[in-house]
Structure 1
Amino acid sequence: MKKLKLAVLLVLTAVMIFPLFTIGASASSAYQTYTYSIDGKALYSPDAYSASKTVGSADLSLGSFYPNVTGKDLEKLSKLDNPGDMVTDSEKKVYIADSGNNRIVILSRYLELDYIISDFVNDKGNPDSFTNPQGVFVVNPKDGDNGEIWVCDTDHNRLVVFDRVTFEFKKIVDQPQSQLFDDDAVYKPVAMAIDQYGRIYVVSSTTYQGIIV
C-alpha cells in the first residue's frame, strides 16, 4: 500500500513539474544574452530583453519611394545597406540612418514607410545630399514647434537639420571651432544628442579626447 501511495505521489509530482519544463522550453529565446566579467571574459546572463518582431527590408517597401528608378539601382534602393543608427520620436516613428544608401529612412509607428530624406537644397540654394550618414537624432516638438531631425553627415563632416513634420531642410552645422582641436583634426560625426537645454553632444570617430559639446 505504501509503495502504491509512493508511486501515485511520483506520478502527480511529474505531472505538476512537466508543464514548467514545457513553458521554459517554449519561452526560451533563439539567442543567448551575455555580459563580460572583470577580466573581459564573456559570461552567460539572463536575457535583458527578447525580440517580439523582426522587420527586414522586404517588409518596408522602400522601392515604392522611387517610381522613376528601375533595374539594379531600384534593387539597391529597395534594401537597407549598412544601417548605422536608429531612433524613435514621441509619436513612435522610427528614423534609420541608412548609411550605405546615403539616406534617412522614416517609418510610421506601424513600421510602414513614411518618407526618405536623401537629397535637399541647402542654405545656398544648391542641390545637396548626404555621404555615409552614420547617426540620426530627433528633437521632439515643444512650445508648438514641429521638432527637428538631426543627421550626422559623416563624410561631409557636418550635421544637417530638417523639420520633423515637413522634412524641409533647415540648416547645416559645421565643425565647431575650438583650441582643443589639433590643426589637422578631421571632424567625423557618427552619433549625437541634444539635451533639454539645447546643448549638442557629438561623437566624432576621429576625435579621441571625448564627446564634443
Structure 2
Amino acid sequence: MDLKAFFKLSYGLYVISSSVGDHKAGCVANTLNQVTNDPARMSVTLNKDNDTMQTIAKSGRFAAIVLSESTNMELIKTFGFQSSKDTDKFSGYDTKMDELGSPYITDHATARFTCKVVNQIDLGTHVMFIGEVESAEVLSEEPVMTYAYYHQVKNGATPKNAPSYQKETKKVGWRCTICGYIYDGDPLPEDYICPLCGAPASAFEKLS
C-alpha cells in the first residue's frame, strides 16, 4: 500500500479550540468538514487523548479557524505538537472569544466558525463531533493552507494523534523536534540550522 496516496486527498489545515471555565484548549487538525448546508453543520474528528477533544466534550462547543499559507511553523509547533494540559497555547497570539464563548486566534486566520455540538460519534481511538454553525466570518483573502502544501512546501510532520498520522518507513534523514521539518540525508552537518524555525542541529532526531 502506498501511504502517500492519502496525501492526495484534499484537506485544509485548521485550529480547533474550546474552553471550560478558565481552561482554553486548541489544536491543529485537518479533519474539519462541512457536512450539511441547511442547517449548516460541520464535523471535526479528534483523538480521545487530545485535550481539545476532551474540552469540547465538556463544553459542547468549538471554534475553528482556517489557516493561511503564510502560517509559520512556530504556530504549527505550538498548536500541533504541544498539549493544552501543559501549555497556554494562546499566550502570545491575538485571541478573541466567539459568540458561544470559545477562544480563537486571528493570527494567520482566513475564516472562522462558531459551532454548537449537536452530536458526537465514537470512532474507537477518535471522536467525531457534529457542530451546528452559529456564526461564520471571513477574516482574510490570503490563500488557505492545504494539507498537501503543508507537506510539500513547509515539509511539515504529522502529530501521532492525528487521524492521518503515518509511521515513518525506510526513510533516511533527520527530523527537527521543534517544528517537524525533515532533513533528507545522513549525516546531518554539525552546523546545520533548521530553515523553518532556526533550531540548531542538536534539536534534530535521526529517523530510524
TM range (shorter): under 0.3
Relative contact order, higher structure (CA 8 A, sep 6+):
2
Give the structure-2-normalised TM-score: 0.22
Task: Name the TM-score, length of structure 1 as normaliser.
Answer: 0.22
Larger radius of gyration: 1
Larger strand proportion of the pair: 2
